[in-house]
A and B are shown apart, each in its own frame.
Chain A
Amino acid sequence: MSEAQPILRLDEATIKFGGLTAVNKVSFELNRGDIFGLIGPNGAGKTTCFNLITGVYKPTSGEIYFQGQPIGGLAPNKIATRGICRTFQNIRLFSALSSVENVMIGAHLRHKVPLVGALMLSAKSVAETSALREHAMHLLELVNLADYANHRSADMSYGKQRRLEIARALATDPELILLDEPAAGMNPQEKEELLYTVRRIRDELNKTVLVIEHDMRFVMGLCERIVVLDHGEEIAQGPPDAIRNNPKVIEAYLGEPA
C-alpha cells in the first residue's frame, strides 16, 4: 500500500430503497490524515452514506474501497475489524454499562486471549482485561471523561455521552473514524473542546476523520475538505472557503434565490 493511495474511496456508491434513491452515485476520496466534512440539508443522505461505509447497508451499485480493498456489503463487524469505526447520530451507548466498560467493549478487538481462556479466567485473560481497562481509561482522559469512568453511561449528560461515543470508537483502534453529528446538543464551550479533541485525534493518534455536522461554524473551522450532498446527490466538493461561496450549496440550504 503506497502512501499516496486514498484511505477511503467511494466510487459512484448508490443505494436504493424501493423507488427512493437515498444516495446516488456519490464519489469522493479521503487521504490519510484528512479531516473531511460531509454536509447537506436534512434528508440529504449523509447518515445513509455512513451506513454504506460501515456495512449497515449494502450498496445497490458502485463500490467502496478502504485501503485499496473493496468493502461494500461486508458485515459491519468485519468492517470494524478492518479499521473503520463510527459514532451514531442518535447516541447508541451500552446504556446499562459504565463508561469504562463501554470503551472496553470497543477495545475488545485488540484482545487475543480466546473465549476458553476467559471462561477459565486464565492469567493471560486477567492481565489482558486489566491492560484493556487501562487503555480505556487513557481514552477517557483524552475526551475528558476520566472522572466519570464508573458512571452508568445512560445517566450522563448528552454532551458527555457524545464524547464517550468518540472514546468508544477510538478504542477499536481504527484507521478511519466516522463522527455522525458529534457536536449536536453541545453548548459553545463544549463545541470548542470537541474541536480541539478531534484535532488531537488526527494529530496525536494519526487517525483519519470523516465528520457529519450541521453546525457550519464547527465544520468550516475543523475540516480541510468538505463534500456537500443534497437529495442523495453530490453537489459540491472542495475546501471550506469554496464551499461557503458555492451558489449551489447556498441554494440547497436556503432554497432558490428570491
Chain B
Amino acid sequence: MTGISNSFWPVRLASVVGVVALCFALDRVVLAAAPAQYRLLILASLFVILAVSLNLINGITGQFSIGHAAFAMIGAYTAGTLSKNPTFANMPPAQLLAVMTLIGALTAATFGFIVGLPSLRLRGDYLAIVTLGFGEIIRIVTNATESLGGSYGMPVAPKVQLLWWSLLMMAVCIALCRNLLKTTHGLTFLAVREDEVAGLAMGVNVTMTKVVAFVIGAAFAGAAGAILAHTEAFISPRTFPMEMSFIILTMVVLGGTGSITGSALAAVVLFAIPEYLRTLTDAQGKAYEMNAGLFMGVLIGIMIAVAASKWIQTNVHEKGKKLGFYAGAWLAVIPLGFLFQTILHLSPTLKQLSFGIDILRYAVFAVVLIALMLLRPQGIFGHHEIGWHWFRKRPAGATEGGAA
C-alpha cells in the first residue's frame, strides 16, 4: 500500500475525537450560558442536516428534488410511532434517540430508494414534479390517516432534547459528503450532474449513482426528522408543510449548489432570520407592526437596487467605480423607500394597513432569491467550499476554487 502518509491514522483519530468532544462541549456551554437557545440550536443543526443532505441530491448529483421535507416527515412519524412500542419503554433517553434516529433514517432511505427509481428516467423539471408530488402524497396521506393522528397530529414520548446528538449527526452528515467529494467516487456524482451522456461513456453507472444519492440524502433527512420528533415531542402534518421543502431548497440554492459548507451556512442564516424576527416584540409581547406602505416602498426600492446592481455588474468594469456605483444604488433604497411610501399612501386603505414584523420573513426569502438569481445564479459560494485554503496562498496556475 503506497501513498498513505504516516500521519493518516493519528490525524484521523484526533479529528474524530475532536469533533465528538466539540459537540459535547458545545452542548454543555449552551446549557450553561444560554439554555433558552438550546432547542433553537437543535433545530438549526437539523436544518443544516436537511440542507446538506438535499445538496447531495440537488447540488452534487444535479437531480432537482423538491420533496425533501417528506423524507424528514417519514423519519419523524417512524420515530413517533415506534417509540410508543413497549420494547423501548425502559430505554435511557439518549439510547432511545440514537435508535430512533437510525430507524428513522433507514425508513426514509427505503422511501428514498422508491423515489430514486423514477428519477432514473426523468430529468430536470419532470423529476422536480415527481418529487413535489411525492412530498404532497406523503403529507396528505398522513393527514387522512387516523392511526397517525390525522390532521391533529400525534404526541411523541418521551421528549428528548440533546443538542450534542444533533450536532454529532450534523457533523457525520457534513463529513460524509465532504469525504465523498475528496475521492474519485465523488467525482462520478459530479459527472452525473455535468453530463450524463459523457458520464455513461466513461463507464459511470449513472443509474446507481442517482439512487445512491437519493438514498443517502433521504436517510439523513429521515434522521433529522426523527430527532425533530423527539425534540418537539409533537408532530403533525403542519410540522412539515410544503414550504419547508422550499425553504430547504432555498438554503441549498442560496449557499451554492454543490457547496457543502455554503449550504450549511445558508441553513443557519435562513433559520436564524425568521427566529430573530419572531423575537422582536414590544413590552406586551406583541409583534411590532410595520406600516404596509413603507414596507412595500422599501421592497420596491430594493428591487430597483437589485436591477441597478445587475446593470453595474455587466456594464461597469473599473473596480473602484464599481464599488461606488453599488454603494450608491443600495443607499438609494432609503430615499426610494420613503418616496414610494408617499406615493402608496395616496391610497387611504394602504395608509391604514400594517403588518406584523414576523411576516417579513416571507419577503426576505423572496427578495434574497430574486437578487441571487439575477446577480449570482451559482449561489453565494458557487461550487466552492469554505475552508482553510481561503487563507493559504493559491498555487500558481490554479483556477478560482478549482474543485467543485
Contacts and interface: CB of A to CB of B under 8 A. Distances in A.
B182 A121 contact: yes
A94 B202 CA distance: 11
Interface stretch (B78-86, B240-248, B396-404): B396-404
Contacts of B4: 123, 126-127
Contacts of A105: 184, 187-188, 190-191, 199, 202, 204
Nearest to A106: B202
B8 A123 contact: yes
24 contacts: A77-B204, A80-B201, A81-B203, A86-B201, A88-B197, A92-B197, A96-B190, A96-B194, A97-B190, A97-B404, A98-B402, A101-B404, A105-B202, A108-B188, A108-B203, A109-B202, A119-B180, A123-B8, A123-B9, A126-B183, A131-B2, A148-B397, A152-B399, A172-B202
B185 A150 contact: no
Contacts of A118: 179-180, 183-186
B1 interface: yes
Contacts of A168: 202
Given A94-B194, A105-B188, A150-B399, A80 B180 contact: no
A7 to B, nearest CB: 18
Nearest to A75: B200
B205 interface: yes
Contacts, number: 143
Given A77-B203, A80-B200, A119-B176, A92 B195 contact: yes
A124 interface: yes
A249 B216 CA distance: 56
A108 B195 contact: no
Report the 4 A-B pairs with minimum CB-CB distance, sorted nearest first.
Answer: A80-B203, A127-B3, A94-B194, A121-B179
Contacts of B2: 127, 131
A161 to B, nearest CB: 12
A151 interface: yes
Contacts of A85: 201-203
A98 B399 contact: yes
A14 interface: no
A80 B202 contact: yes
Interface string A149-174: 01110010000000000001101100
Nearest to A130: B3
Interface string B369-404: 000000000000001000000000001011100111
A104 B205 CA distance: 15
Given A93-B194, A172-B203, 6 more contacts: A94-B190, A97-B194, A105-B187, A108-B184, A109-B203, A120-B179
B1 A151 contact: no
B206 interface: yes
Interface string B226-264: 000000000000000000000000000000000000000
B198 interface: yes
B200 A77 contact: yes
Contacts of B179: 118-121
A92 to B, nearest CB: 4
A132 B1 CA distance: 14
Q: By CB atoms of chain B within 10 A, which of A120, A129, A169 has the most? A: A129
A122 to B, nearest CB: 9
Contact of A108 (B3, B187, B206): B187
A251 B203 CA distance: 39
Interface in A108-146: 108-109, 111, 113, 115, 118-121, 123-132
Interface of B: 1-4, 8-9, 175-176, 179-180, 182-188, 190-191, 194-195, 197-206, 212, 383, 395, 397-399, 402-404
A204 interface: no
A111 B185 contact: yes
A56 interface: yes
A238 B185 CA distance: 43
Interface in A164-196: 168-169, 171-172
Interface string A58-101: 00000000000000000111001100011010001111111001
A132 B2 CA distance: 12
A256 interface: no
A249 B176 CA distance: 58
A107 B282 CA distance: 63
A208 interface: no
Contacts of B184: 104-105, 107-108, 111, 118, 128-129, 132
A109 B184 CA distance: 10
Contacts of A127: 1-4
Contacts of A81: 203
A118 B176 CA distance: 9
A95 B399 contact: no
A108 B383 CA distance: 21
Contacts of B3: 126-128, 130-131
B1 A150 contact: no
B84 to A, nearest CB: 33
B182 to A, nearest CB: 6
Nearest to B195: A92
A98 B402 CA distance: 6
Contact of B185 (A95, A115, A131): A115
A164 to B, nearest CB: 12
Q: By CB atoms of chain B within 10 A, which of A113, A119, A171 has the most? A: A119
B378 to A, nearest CB: 9
A54 interface: yes
B194 A95 contact: yes
B274 to A, nearest CB: 32
Contact of A151 (B186, B206, B399): B399
A3 interface: no
Contacts of A120: 179
A98 B398 CA distance: 9
A194 to B, nearest CB: 20
